[in-house]
Structure 1
């Protein structure tokens, strides 16, 4: 980190914004100057986390382009469409967007797009590429020659085998697994713990099955544990 910090306005006033604010404060050269959110979700009193919170439709009046960068929204709401739309709106207004990559990552590619948030303990292997406006939560493996499209959200403990292509606006839930060399079309939703072994057409939903509860108590297997 440098002595000079870049001022950012963070989009969102919820728990995830609180979490990302801590990461930025501890591990980045970004200074959260204020928060913004759609007017219907503006917090009472116009403050959040001890700093100003302004409506998105007035952000240019309070923090004009060139004076700050933007970061967020930090959400997969609407299958990433909310984050996509606000990102495109912000660019149309003339704002630059910041990125955050946690220092405790092993990233072996330079092909990382703009406005990406990559949290700790991620492994991204050589020849992988990450698009614009992508959020990658903690502890994932993204294999060699994988392509992740724009506006995707990858939760935690996801394993993506090499040479897999993930289309734009996809959501990969926690502990999902994708085998080698497959292609996911745009706006696919791979839910928690699902395993994908074949190509998915655009807009597909894949859900894993919960393990059934066994019809005997845990004391019966105590000698095994």
Structure 2
């Protein structure tokens, strides 16, 4: 099968990773990266050109190229959402990636412009909206709904019948109990467990472990 050409918007670590996955696992061939002109500090990344996003349609016509926006959770996902919308407004089709090493049940509903890493488990009757990133190793429980513009980091557990509001971020090892609705614009820190519904625009900070008074070498009798 002839590969379709893809431009990745972004030049961060996520952009580098996305290039790897699209090139190896999909029918896409990444041909360039693009960033907004005010952030254009280099003209090449891994042997591919880096161009100004504002000139993208002139250099890489939408009739021949698709776009993926490799931005993380900046401004509660607003940056990724805005750039994806602008690319679509230029006439580009937005690409998605679903790892062949992820488990996605047959009746899962996927929106456009999603990126699902390896080792995700997405159970039956799940609905995933547009512009959603699932980093590696998450569990998305049956009948749950992940709304638009989300970033779910790694090893997050979303139990059954949950509803995750737009623009939210779920940190590493966060856990959401059954039948919980997370309001839009929520930031859920690493390791946070939520057992009941949340209000919109809420930040749940992670608890930082306090060091013990005894040094580690003394506790483990090092050097004795």
Q: Is the 8 A contact 2:163 2:182 kept in 1?
A: yes
Which residue in the other structure is 1:13 paired with?
Answer: 11
Query: Matched residues in 2 for 1:49 and 1:71: separation?
Result: 17
Query: Matched residues in 1 for 2:119 and 2:138: separation?
Result: 7
Unpaired segments ≥5 residues, structure 2: none
Which residue in the other structure is 1:177 paired with?
Answer: 175
Counterparts of 1:60-139 in structure 2, within 5 Å, are: 60-108=57-105, 109-139=107-137
**More divergent stretch after superposition (105-114 vs 210-219):** 210-219
Query: Matched residues in 1 for 2:135 and 2:50: separation?
Result: 25
Query: Matched residues in 2 for 1:117 and 1:90: separation?
Result: 17
Query: Matched residues in 2 for 1:141 and 1:191: separation?
Result: 17
Unpaired segments ≥5 residues, structure 1: none
Q: TM-score by structure 1 length?
A: 0.93
Secondary structure at 1:181's aligned position in 2? Answer: coil
Shift of 1:74: 2.5
Q: Deviations over 1:160-188 (max 9, x none)?
A: 01101001111111111111111111111
Shift of 1:217: 4.1
Shift of 1:31: 0.7
Query: Matched residues in 2 for 1:73 and 1:86: separation?
Result: 10
Q: Is the 8 A contact 1:70 1:97 kept in 2?
A: yes
Q: Deviations over 1:32-59 (max 9, x none)?
A: 0111111111133x22221111111111
Identify which of 198, 201, 205 aligns with 2:199. 201
Query: Matched residues in 1 for 2:215 and 2:45: separation?
Result: 47
**More divergent stretch after superposition (141-150 vs 205-214):** 205-214
How many residues get paired?
219
**More divergent stretch after superposition (102-111 vs 76-85):** 102-111
Q: Is the 8 A contact 1:73 1:82 kept in 2?
A: no
1:35 aligns with 2:27: no
Secondary structure at 1:52's aligned position in 2? Answer: strand
Query: Matched residues in 1 for 2:69 and 2:202: separation?
Result: 25
Q: How well do the aligned residues superpose, as a CA RMSD in angstroms?
A: 1.4
Q: Deviations over 1:54-80 (max 9, x none)?
A: 111111110121110000132211110
